[in-house]
Amino acid sequence: MGVSTVTQQQSNHQPSAAVAAFLRRPKQLWIDGTWVDSVSGRAIEVYDPATGRQIDSVQAGVAADVDRAVAAASAAFESAAWRGLRPADREALLWRLSDLVARDADILAELESLDNGKPVGLARMVDVNGAVEYLRYMAGWATKIHGRVIHPSFAGLPGAEITVNAVRDPVGVVGQIVPWNFPLLMAVWKLAPALAAGCTCVLKPAEQTSLTALYLAELVAEAGFPAGVVNVVTGLGHEAGAALVAHPDVAKIAFTGSTEVGKIIGRGCMDTMKRVSLELGGKSPVIVCADADLDKAIPGAAMAIFFNAGQVCTAGSRLYVDAKIYEPFMAGIAAFASGIKVGPGWAPDTQMGPLVSAEQQARVLSYIEIGKAEGGELLVGGEAQGDEGYFVKPTILANVNPAMRVVREEIFGPVVVAQKFATIDEAVKLANTSDYGLGASVWSEGLSTAHRIASRLQAGSVWVNCHNAIDPAVPFGGFKQSGLGREHGEEAINLHTEPKSIWYAV
Ligand code: NAP
Ligand code: MG
């Protein structure tokens, strides 16, 4: 097992004709419905994480490019071509876009796998199908945004009959800054509610993984969205991203990424009082009770962390196991982890791909060293795999304690830290001892035990006997330093609309 056995094939692997053709095309910025060059003249290299070899490059958009994109988005926001559309027309456009993403699902999945490293089957099932379903769910909201009528008790206008229409206006131009772990899906999570609400968009993909966002830009045009409604500016966070945050004509920033950058963005937004939603990091606990069904809990807890190589904001990266079952549980999860097939994304039997970048691989490996130095006991993994690409083996560090950095800090890789607990109170206390509060799971066959724990956990999503279940209809976001605001469902529409009260005195 392992990449060393497929290195030769890896080097020889050829992308499909459609993906090869896309890669050959020079990449530009998508502004006002057309491809344009960045004024910077600089490129960002794009690497295949399975080989470390360069496969493409994208342009490094800068503030002047963001100015152009925001101007296009502002003009589109005011245009009859967009503002004049009926809600049902926006719904139809979003459906058409979902159909185009579905039509090109194989291309998008292959491209995502090549760019990010994830297994192509996972990209197809989770990223691309997830994007299609998200667009379709949000399409339905376009026709369901409405206000309410209030009859106030206001006495300041004697003789007048007063009615208030409390409505929701689209917020305006939305700047969308997304990370590299689910590049297409994160872009769609940002674009779909904004478009359903009637906003216009400037999207900045992650520097490591911009390819599917550029592919999507043309699908947006093919679907029939007017020029300027969606713009894509590739570039670096501290250049293109920061310019979006600072731009006075951007009404709202929607961000997913690290808590560290989220704080910078949140502060930046206050300068012009931008609306801001932040989906940030996590250190999500997985609590395995003594009455858990181990046949479900062992693979469940393993995939809670190893899915997408642990590069998931809700990854179940802290494992708390009842002392009564600690030994058999840890033996089971260690066996599961060492059986995970790690390899290049294109190989059909790959279960876990490489990490996204050399930087991320180095970061994760350094956390493993920190964990060992802090006294964590390495059960499996703990090292890179193969001699090329950014692979890290599934890793379990046991006997940790809450003071350790590997327990407190987000690693964002295939590394889980584990410790036992004696009582439910202790499990809840350990789980809640974190600056983060994004996800959590509880594994128990007892409904009342599971419910009692779930109701005490400080997390935006709590899963019982499952982990990482996500749906466009279900609010998603974090407690504490895991973020601000909730995406998905009606909450996502609320993030993109501005409440307005219109008073009528007649
Ligand atoms: P990041 O820096 O938070 O990047 C997320 C996005 O923000 C990227 O598009 C990034 O651009 C942009 N950005 C960075 N600095 C910015 C700034 N000053 N102003 C505006 N935009 C800015 O995350 P990362 O560097 O890719 O990863 C670092 C760590 O963040 C990971 O190890 C992980 O712990 C965490 N992370 C969390 C999530 C999550 O979903 N919660 C996702 C990704 C990463 P660039 O592409 O140029 O960086
Ligand atoms: Mg960064």
Sheet with 377-380, side-by-side order of all strands: 377-380, 395-398, 415-421, 316-322, 284-288, 439-443, 461-464
Tell me if residue 269 is catalytic: no
Q: Are 401 and 407 in contact (CB under 8 A)?
A: yes
Which helix or strand (DSSP H or E) is residue 503 part of? strand 497-505
Ligand nearest to the CA of 363: 1
Q: Where do runs of H (alpha helix) occur along 117-176?
A: 120-122, 129-141
Both tokens of 366, joined, read: 């350094």
Local confidence pLDDT in tens for the 506 residues of the chain: 344 445 545 567 899 999 999 999 999 999 999 999 999 999 999 999 999 999 999 999 999 999 999 999 999 999 999 999 999 999 999 999 999 999 999 999 999 999 999 999 999 999 999 999 999 999 999 999 999 999 999 999 999 999 999 999 999 999 999 999 999 999 999 999 999 999 999 999 999 999 999 999 999 999 999 999 999 999 999 999 999 999 999 999 999 999 999 999 999 999 999 999 999 999 999 999 999 999 999 999 999 999 999 999 999 999 999 999 999 999 999 999 999 999 999 999 999 999 999 999 999 999 999 999 999 999 999 999 999 999 999 999 999 999 999 999 999 999 999 999 999 999 999 999 999 999 999 999 999 999 999 999 999 999 999 999 999 999 999 999 999 999 999 999 999 999 999 999 99
What residue owns the CA closest to ligand 1's atom 19?
242
Encoded amino acid at 49, one letter: P
Mutate to test the pocket of ligand 1, among 177, 185, 366, 461 (most ligand atoms within 8 A of CB): 177
289 as an active site residue: the answer is no
Region of 81 (left: φ > 0; alpha: ψ -120 to 50; beta: rest) is alpha
Predicted TM-score (pTM) of this structure:
0.97
Distance CA 102, CA 95 (A): 10
Least distant ligand from the CA of 238:
1
Residue with token string 């988005």:
73
